[in-house]
Every structure is written in C-alpha cells, then in structure tokens.
Amino acid sequence: MHAGSPSLHGANPKLRLAARRTPEDLDALVLNLLAASNRPISAYDISDRSIVAGQSIVPNQVYRTLARLIDQGLVHRVESLSAYMLKQQSFDGCLICDQCQAVQILSDPDLFARLQDCAHRFGFAVDRTVVEMHGCCRDCATHDHPNREHEAKRVFSDSTPPPNIIGV
C-alpha cells in the first residue's frame, strides 16, 4: 500500500485530471464552492474545500480564478477578512459580525455618493472605496447562540433583499 503523496506524479487521477481543466471549469468550481459556503471564505479555504470535493485547485489557481471572477462582477472580496463571497446583489458595503462571522450586504447607492461628496470637499480623488463595518449582529446581541454555525447560516442565507439598511 502506498502512503499518500502530494506529488503530482503520484497515482491520484484527480490531480492529473486537474491539469486539463479549462479556466471555465475552474470558474465553475470556485463559484460552486463559494455558493456552498454560508460565509466569505479565503483562497486557502477554497483550495482546501476543492480537495475535499475531489477536484483539487492549488492556491495560485484559486487566486487567478478569483481575480477573473471579480473582474466579471461575480465575486466580491471582503477586504477586512481577506475572504471572498458570491456577488449576488448590488454591494455597497457590508456588516460583519465578529461573533458569528455572518455578513450582511448593504445595498445603498447613495452611500457611495455621499462618501464621494465628502472626499471631493477635500479635493480628494477617490480610486477605491471600502465600506465594511465590524461589530455584533442583532441575533448575537439578543440571543445566547449555542450554535454559531447555525446562526451564521440563518443570517447569511436570508435571501430577502436588505432594502437600504442605512437610512437617508
């Protein structure tokens, strides 16, 4: 019996198969792994999960694939977590619970406009704006949550669009 070897020359047919995948195959794999996650995950998480799923993607491939998917507007990078999530709606910012790691998307086009106005008043030309607020979500604030995974899934999978959470 052979010991498991990480070598590409080993007998693992899945790794040999991986070399023949097209960028479109990798896009679909990464999108599926992100869709299966109930929270933003890192590139290394994606690589680890791809191995568990039997379709190994090495981190360099994951980064290249993520860059492509971000360019296409399909994936969003949560900067303060160095993690990635599907971009399923207009993304103007997010609320990140530091207790259960649930992420709530903020959809408020006025938010960027107001921040741009603030910057312009200082003669500042904005290249990039990141609005990520860390804190404690309503569920964690109001419940003793024995199962944080469950809480995160519940919050993150709530598909009702969050209409202008930040009021005018």
Contacts of 63 by beta carbon, 8 Å cutoff, 6+ apart: 43
DSSP state of 83: E
Q: How many residues does the chain have?
A: 168
The β-bridge partners of 76 are 85
The residue within the footprint of Zn ion, chosen from 94, 97, 103, 106 (CB under 5 A), is 97
- Tell me if residue 118 falls in helix, strand or coil: helix
φ, ψ of residue 161 to 5 degrees: the values are -65, 135
Name the minimum Å distance from CB 129 to Zn ion.
25
Here the tokens at position 107 are 């959809």
Part of the chain binding Zn ion (CB under 5 A), chosen from 13-21, 61-69, 132-140, 157-165: 132-140
- Binding of residue 104 to Zn ion (CB under 5 A): no
Give which of 132, 38, 35 is closest to 75, Cα–Cα.
35
Interface positions, 25-84, toward Zn ion (CB under 5 A): none
Q: How far is the C-alpha of 81 from the C-alpha of 144, rounded, in Å? A: 24
Nearer to Zn ion, 29 or 100 (CB): 100
Name the minimum Å distance from CB 101 to Zn ion.
7
Name the minimum Å distance from CB 137 to Zn ion.
3
Interface positions, 133-152, toward Zn ion (CB under 5 A): 137, 140
- Tell me if residue 130 falls in helix, strand or coil: coil
Nearer to Zn ion, 57 or 100 (CB): 100
Nearer to Zn ion, 26 or 95 (CB): 95
Nearer to Zn ion, 68 or 145 (CB): 145
Name the minimum Å distance from CB 98 to Zn ion.
8
Name the minimum Å distance from CB 166 to Zn ion.
19
Cβ pair 97, 145 in contact under 8 A: no
* Residue ranges in contact with Zn ion by CB under 5 A: 97, 99-100, 102, 137, 140
